[in-house]
A and B are shown apart, each in its own frame.
Chain A
Amino acid sequence: MSSLAKKKPALFSAGSNIEINLNNISKKFPGVQALDDVDFFLKSNQVHALVGENGAGKSTLMKIIAGIQKPDEGEILLNGSKVEFNSPREAQNHGISIVHQEADLFPSLTVAENVFANDLPTKGLLNSVDFKKMKELTDDLLNKFGHPEINSNDIVSTLSVGQRQIVEIIKALSLNSNIIIFDEPTAVLTPSETEILFSIINDLKKNNIAIAYISHRLEEIGKISDYVSVLKDGKLMATKETDNINPSEMIKLMVGRELKDIFEDEVREINSNEILLEVENLKNSEFFNDINFNIKKGEIVGFSGLIGAGRTELALTLFGYYKAESGKVILDGEELKISNPTEAIESGIVYVSEERREKGLFTEMTVRNNLISPNLQLVSNNGVLNNNKISDLTKSSINQLNIKTNSDETFVLKLSGGNQQKIALGKWLPKNPKLLIIDEPTRGVDVGAKQEVYKILRKLAREGTSIMLISSELPEIIGMCDRTIVMQSGKINGEILKKDFSEELILKYASGYTGDMIN
């Protein structure tokens, strides 16, 4: 189909008026009611923002609009007539496209091929791919978006995370869509890229395009949107005109309780000044340089920063997964020479990954097998597994962590995100770790489980385990940590003590932005 190529460039071309209404949408996944009787709408010339905690159902709702998932109940009306999308392609044919949270690109192909993946422009009788035209159109879009430094012939895997996000946005624009869904587009963008995105969104709005906008950054929502809907645990809490609601009201609706309730502001004194971990001039030139910090016994130290700041890589280096080129790691007064995770665990360092399904869990194995995976030594006598010991360990972990599962023989992939996270964290507890490194502990976890994860972490800290808490959620850092270290592009930009915590200050260090904050 070369008709699309003729219509190019689609960017900023005015379309006809459009309105999409979702009525009484419900969707269930194994173990979770992702959406429960939700109404939502999008109209030309308007940005409708959607906010809610992780796991509130925002992404699921957007995936339903984009044809990636089908609702169990409810109807979708496009300009008043009922439609049903069986695939993303059908939704695209109706002019709907989505800019994904985690870039859904083909890493080994060029930027241009990615942008035109679903409809390569062709020429001639043989319908051969018109590479020249594809390149021109892509370059044109990149220029308009203010990113001439990205070349349309670049291989996507060589781009930075932020640049990939831009390719994703351009891909959506190129589809000539009149409904565009942005799923947390700014999470990986720098402040200046964010500004450019906002001006693009404003231009799109003027050209009759309907926009859905998901973000965690509530101040952005005030700037960019016309309507706000708040989701909580799959239920629609409210839909309001943006002018009639302020961020703190949004938060209240999102969590159903005040923030301070979640991080019950108990006084947790760090009972020792003894330093557990001392990192000196640690360097791995691919990810980070010249890292110096320490963690006291029983202290919770936050690691803030934007995605790609090098926090996860630093954690994985301390854990022996990556090798440091130079520098010292001293634990309990002894210099560590760790070359793999096995040795790290032996010396008392454990790591809970942000990608729990990919790196933390054996999802196609049972709860029981997951819980014993790092503790095989503990549950065996002379190399022979002892079933009683296994049952004891599993039962006590399930009770202690309040894991909601039918039995210990349930497959982990059937559990909800929160319960999966409790297992990913809980499997380490029998080892009594000295240092727990936990990466985005509550990503994709519902509010209730979130609180429980926090409770477990606090209890560990009280018992003397030191915690290195990597998080991109500022309320989490502020509510949980005794101190936070802020990283940007592989270096430590600053250290903030609990008494000085503020979202603004953390963001300032994280972006390396020295002027006044956007607000």
Chain B
Amino acid sequence: MNENIKKLLKIREIPLFIFIIIVAILGSFISPYFLLSANFSAVFLGLSLDAIIVIAMCMLLISGGFDLSVGANLAFSGMVCAICMANFGMPWPLACIVAISCGTMVGVANGLMVTRFYVNPLIATLGMLTIVRSLVLIISGDRAMSSFPKAFQLIGQGKIFGIPNPIWIFILFVILAEFVLRTMKMGRLPFFVGSNPQAAELSGLRVKRIQFILYALCGCAAGIAGVVSTARLNAAFPLAGNGAELRIIAAAVIGGCSLSGGQGSIIGAFLGVVLMAIINNLLILTGVPVYYQGLVAGLVLIGAVGFDEYSKRRRGEIRS
């Protein structure tokens, strides 16, 4: 095989992208609706919340961190936003700022627990998940809230050049994050921290600070997703984002992130989200019962990671 092609295939994103194209082509044969622009727009609109969060999660995973509380945080921030407008009569821009700040504070709390009190990230964010879910129920009384100002709804429902705003938002974030990670000095830091935290500290990198910032960033992304969700549906639901954390981590891992840190890319993680969404969409279009979705998602996750690890070992990149 041509050396350049070999090199390209080693980049995780390329085979993933090709795989998505293949799935899409197969999809167009399976269902006549698949390639309709309305369907496509719906798929991307549907994955926009996951896509916003996966960007921050990807950076956190690269640094060796982990956040299980993003789904709960999404519901929490969305609910805070709704309550600020409906109960406290805040103008919508202020409500958005308060909501995103609340989301960020959840991330800050995670960061403090992990970097200052040395709580294992899995435990810290799992605890945070149940706390925040409970907070949502407390502040909402387990009731959905709806009917917000038209201007606010535009965040989620408006279109620019015919493309829904949530899609613009995640495209913007993906490009920005990809740029930072690839070309900025600070974008390299998570890789060093995740690859070997001890060596990173002894190389003079401020490991704790970097980890802390990434947890906060993850909370912030969940907060933004919460606001977008409330705006798009014109309602805040207590159960919003249920199970999103695992779906998002799975997508990031499919896209090349390593749970032990040091590896991953924004584009890859984003493509992971796209792949999962397209497969789900096809299952729905072809009338496969909803019950099968989890089964397929699990097989794709294990298959993708298993194949990658296997081929790396065969190429001798890792000593087994």
> B-contacting residues of A (Cβ < 8 Å)?
30, 319, 321, 340-342, 344-346, 351, 353, 358-365, 369, 372-374, 376-377, 380, 383-385, 411, 413, 427
Of the candidates B184, B185, B196, B206, the one whose C-beta lies within 8 Å of that of A342 is: B206
If the complex has contacts A369-B191, A427-B203, are A362 and B185 also in contact, measured as CB distance less than 8 A?
no
Asked whether B44 is an interface residue with its Cβ less than 8 Å from the other chain, the reply is: no
Within 8 A of A (CB), among B259-308: 262-263
- Is B195 in the interface zone, CB < 8 Å from A? yes
Restricting to B161-205, which residues have a CB under 8 Å from any CB of A?
183-186, 188-189, 191-192, 195-196, 198-205
Interface contact B203-A374, CB-CB below 8 Å: yes
When distances are taken between beta carbons in the complex, the residues of chain A under 8 Å from B203 are 341, 373-374, 427
Chain B residue with the shortest CB-CB distance to A359: B198
A359 touches B199 (CB 8 A): yes
Report the minimum CB–CB distance from A68 to chain B (whole Å): 14
Q: How far is the CA of A362 from the CA of B195 in the complex (A)?
A: 6
Which chain A residue lies CB-closest to B209? A342
Known: A359-B199, A384-B184. 11 other contacts (CB 8 A): A319-B202, A342-B205, A358-B196, A358-B198, A361-B199, A362-B195, A373-B192, A373-B203, A373-B205, A374-B204, A380-B185
* B3 at the binding interface (Cβ < 8 Å): no
Q: Decide if B262 touches A365 in the complex (CB within 8 Å).
A: yes
Partner of B185 from the list A30, A346, A353, A376 (CB cut-off 8 Å) is A376
Contact A365-B202, Cβ < 8 Å, known A380-B185, A384-B183: no
- What are the 5 A-B residue pairs with the smallest beta carbon separation, nearest first? A345-B204, A362-B195, A380-B185, A374-B203, A342-B204
> Which residue of A30, A341, A351, A376 is within 8 Å of B188 (Cβ)?
A376
In angstroms, how far is the closest chain A Cβ from the Cβ of B206? 6
Name the CB-closest residue of B to A376. Answer: B185
Cα of A353 to Cα of B262 in the assembled complex, Å: 21
Q: What B residues does A359 contact at CB under 8 A? A: 196, 198-199, 202
Please give the distance in Å from B82's CB to the nearest CB on chain A: 38
29 contacts between A and B (CB under 8 A): A321-B202, A341-B203, A341-B204, A342-B206, A353-B202, A358-B196, A358-B198, A360-B199, A362-B191, A362-B195, A362-B199, A363-B196, A365-B191, A365-B192, A365-B195, A369-B188, A369-B191, A373-B199, A373-B203, A373-B205, A376-B189, A377-B185, A380-B184, A380-B185, A384-B183, A385-B183, A385-B185, A385-B188, A413-B319
Question: In the assembly, what is the distance between CA of A342 and CA of B206, in Å?
Answer: 7
B183 near A364 (CB under 8 angstroms)?
no
**A341-B204, A342-B205 in contact; A383/B184 too (CB < 8 A)?**
yes
Give B71 Cβ to nearest chain A Cβ, in Å: 30
Check if B186 sits within 8 Å of A360, measured CB to CB.
Answer: no
Least Cβ–Cβ distance between B98 and chain A, in angstroms: 30
A364-B195, A376-B188, A385-B188 given as contacts; is B206 within 8 A of A351 (CB)? Answer: no
Contacts of B205 in A (CB 8 A): 342, 373
Interface set of B (CB-CB < 8 Å, partner A): 183-186, 188-189, 191-192, 195-196, 198-206, 262-263, 316-317, 319
Closest A residue, CB atoms, query B204:
A345
| A383 touching B204, Cβ below 8 Å | no
Query: In whole angstroms, how far apart are the Cα atoms of A344 and B185 in the complex?
Result: 20
The distance from the CB of B210 to the nearest CB of chain A, in whole angstroms, is 11
- Please name the residue on chain A nearest to B7 by beta carbon: A409
Residues of chain A lying within 8 A (CB to CB) of residue B195:
362-365
Q: Using CB atoms, name the residue of chain B closest to A428.
A: B203
Q: How far is the CB of B297 from chain A (nearest CB, A)?
A: 28
Residue of A nearest to B187 (CB): A385
Which residues of B lie under 8 Å from residue A363 when comparing CB positions? Answer: 195-196
Min CB gap B197→A, angstroms: 10
Establish whether residues A351 and B262, one from each chain, have CB atoms under 8 Å apart when the complex forms.
no
Q: Is the CB of B202 within 8 A of A341?
A: yes
Q: Which residue of B lies closest to A411 (CB)?
A: B317
**Chain B residue with Cβ nearest A344:** B204
Closest residue on chain B to residue A424 by CB atoms: B199
Minimum CB–CB distance from B224 to chain A (whole Å) comes to 23
Q: Residue among B192, B200, B262, B263 with the most chain A CB within 10 A?
A: B192
Rounded to whole angstroms, the CA-CA distance of A373 and B263 in the bound complex is: 16
Q: Are B199 and A351 in contact (CB under 8 A)?
A: no
Contacts A321-B201, A341-B201, A383-B185 known; A361 to B206 CB distance under 8 Å? no
**Chain B residues whose CB sits within 8 angstroms of the CB of A374 once the complex forms:** 203-204
Q: How far is the CB of A481 from chain B (nearest CB, A)?
A: 23
How many whole Å from B47's CB to the nearest CB in chain A? Answer: 30
Residues in A whose Cβ lies below 8 Å from that of B319? 30, 413
CA distance A373 to B195 in the complex (A): 11
- Which chain A residues border B191 with CB–CB below 8 Å? 362, 365, 369
Q: Which residues of A contact B202 (CB under 8 A)?
A: 319, 321, 341, 351, 353, 359-360
In angstroms, Cα B196 to Cα A337, docked, is 26
For B262, list chain A residues within 8 Å (CB): 362, 364-365
Please measure, in the bound complex, the distance between the C-alpha atom of A362 and the C-alpha atom of B188, giving whole angstroms.
13
- Cα–Cα distance between A336 and B162 once the two chains are bound (Å): 61
> CA–CA, A411 to B317, complex, Å?
8
Chain B residues, Cβ within 8 Å of A344: 204
Chain A nearest CB: distance from B305 CB in Å? Answer: 16
Tell me how far the C-beta of A377 lies from the nearest C-beta in chain B, rounded to whole angstroms: 7
B185 proximity list for chain A (CB < 8 A): 376-377, 380, 383-385
Closest approach, in angstroms, between the C-beta of B144 and any C-beta of chain A? 44
Q: Is the CB of A385 within 8 A of B184?
A: yes
> Which residues on A sit within 8 Å (CB–CB) of B196?
358-359, 361-363
Least Cβ–Cβ distance between B191 and chain A, in angstroms:
7
Tell me the bound Cα distance from A360 to B195 in angstroms.
Answer: 11
**Chain A residues in 8 Å Cβ range of B200:** 362, 373
The distance from the CB of B65 to the nearest CB of chain A, in whole angstroms, is 17
Residues of A within 8 A of B206 (CB): 340, 342
Residue of A nearest to B317 (CB): A411
Tell me the bound Cα distance from A321 to B200 in angstroms: 12
Give the Cβ gap from B9 to chain A, nearest Cβ, in Å.
16
* Assembly CA distance A385 to B186 (angstroms): 9
- What's the minimum C-beta distance from A176 to chain B, rounded to whole angstroms? 33
Distance of A319 from chain B, by nearest CB (Å)? 7
Find the B residue at minimum CB distance from A373: B203
Query: B192: nearest residue on chain A (CB-CB)?
Result: A373
Residues on the A chain within 8 Å of B204, using CB: 341-342, 344-346, 374
Q: Given the complex of chains A and B, what is the CA–CA distance between A363 and B192 in angstroms?
A: 10
> Bound complex: CA of A321 vs CA of B204, how far in Å?
10
Give the distance to chain B from A427, nearest Cβ to Cβ, in Å.
7
Note all chain B residues with C-beta closer than 8 A to A365: 191-192, 195, 262
